[in-house]
Amino acid sequence: MNSKLSGKDKSYPTFIRPATEKIAAQCTAKGQIPHWLEGEVLRNGPGEFEVGSDKFNHLFDGHAFVHKFTISGGWVTYTGRFIESNLYKTNKEHNRILCGGFGTASYTDPCKNIFSRFFTVLTTRPYTDNCNVNVASMANAHYTITDGGDVVRFDAEKLETKNSIALTDILNVHFSTAHPHYDTNGDYYNLGLTFGRNAFYNVVRVPASSFNKQDPMQDLEIHAKIEVDTPLQPTYFHSFALTPNYIVIHDQPARIDVLKSQWKRIMWQPSSGSITNDMKRQSVFLVVDKKTGNQLPIKFTSEGRFCFHFINGFEMTTEDKRYLLVDMCCHKEPINLQQGIVILDNIRQGQTTSKITPTFLRFVMPLDISDSTEEGHNLVNIVGCEATGVMQNDGSIFLTPESLLKKEFSGTLELPRINYKYNGRKYRYFYAMSVFTPHCEDHLMKCDNITKTGITWFEEGCTPSEPVFVERPGATEEDDGIILSTVINKDPNKSVFLLILDAKTFKELARAEVETNLPISFHGIFEEKKQ
């Protein structure tokens, strides 16, 4: 454990500057922290990109590092620690990268002779528990999670690592997403994927009644199964939508080449090349009845698009017609995870701009379909809505979305968040961030899906994180609360700080600065102080 600042190295670009571990460091607060704000924001991301003389190749491969800001009585403290997964401990023990990741190859123990190393390759697999994308909470149990087959339990108080869990030790699921949901009754939901001749997309669940256990993830169960139409090339998914009655899965052109993936795993090679793009393939929305676990028989299709992040989904009834609406951050371009801003050498060389232009779109699925509906008929009839759902000759419904933002406000934003109290409900606002974009400074934006406009926060030389909404106690309006974002500075001599914005005005209320090294993080949560 190194609790001191090791010295800021200007040779590291801001985004991949190695993190420094700290315990309960006092922050310097500026401005007025809301008196009601009591709790902590926990964030996860890659914190270390080199081990000894070895370097990771991919942004998704850095050792998981969790940091938190604790706010209490107007004071703020900072703690940051590496998650000591099996992968992390193996690499640190040998002071080199033996266990790689999504875009970095793995190697057997160099101390073994050639025959032992060959036997190791054939009989074992490198650790894959470097869960560096998000944080999941189940009462007093906390987990680092990623798109993969492992989760790591940790203690949220001191950020100490507890144990790694392979999903296959619990049930027949090889992969789950980094973006779970929580139902109104508290149940934990996620998507899973089972590989094999009989491949399935799974909806998995941990009942809220299990949250009082020490390790509630052990009670993970399969709630619903959908047979994969192409078992050797299932879709890749990173998130989904949860409404009071439905679960929506985006079956998209990004596919996982199972044979290639398994071969690479056997040969200890990185799996990044196993995700392919079939842009001739349409997007298909798979809708599951949450109560029964059965898939709706209606087939909803659209032009093929890639999506990392759903924004929200909700149900609507108008003129006695029922609709299911899903809002997503979509990309029309194929996503290549083997080039561009995710390759660390590009970041090291300062090539950190992206040509990808995501858009925020709303898809509307009509749920009341008559056998007499004629081909070519638009089944979406919502006042002010430009989205359509047109009957096709095979009985499917082709969806054309509407944009949630005017063109001048979109095109550079990702990582959308909402007031989670409105998840699965009709809502108005979402919050997003823009980084790595050409001709555009890094910024946060509050987006209004009714006026289709946005307002921004920006500070020269600063890179914010994904915005996290915290509702004010007693709030009666959707945007009555604050936004929290961890901001890193491109100047290595300036502090990292927790930014606190008024969610209504998007004006700064306060910031809490801390002297530490911290690279960019991916996702996180806020937890209210436990009484």
Q: Please give the annotated binding residues for Fe cation, written as ranges.
A: 179, 238, 309, 523
Rounded distance, CA 112 to CA 517, Å?
36
For 92, phi then psi, to 5°, come to -70, -35
Residue with tokens 């809002």: 327
Q: Computed from CA positions of residues 396, 405, 525, 515, in that sequence, does the dihedral angle turn out positive or negative?
A: positive
Contacts of 171 (CB under 8 A, 6+ apart): 204, 220, 221, 222
Contacts of 296 (CB under 8 A, 6+ apart): 246, 287, 288, 289, 367
- Count how many Cα atoms sit within 13 Å of the Cα of residue 149 in the half-sphere of its side chain: 18
CA 474 vs. chain centroid, Å, equals 29
> What is the rounded end-to-end Cα distance, in angstroms, of the chain?
31
The full DSSP string for 391-427 is: E-TTS-EEEE-EESS-GGG-SS-EEEE--GGGTTS--
Contact by Cβ (8 Å): 126, 98: yes
- How big is the chain by its Cα radius of gyration, in Å? 23
Which of these, 294, 186, 178, lies nearest to 247 by C-alpha position? 294
Rounded distance, CA 42 to CA 32, Å?
21
Q: What 3-state DSSP class applies to 169? A: helix
Contact by Cβ (8 Å): 524, 144: no
**Maximum Cα interatomic distance, the chain, rounded to a whole number of Å:** 74
Quick count: other Cβ atoms within 10 Å of Cβ 459? 17
Q: DSSP alpha helices (H): ranges in 310-411? A: 344-348
Q: DSSP alpha helices (H): ranges in 129-275? A: 258-266
Residue 218 burial (CB < 10 Å; 0-12/13-18/19+)? middle
Q: What 3-state DSSP class applies to 342? A: helix
- Count how many Cα atoms sit within 13 Å of the Cα of residue 490 in the half-sphere of its side chain: 12
Binding residues: 179, 238, 309, 523
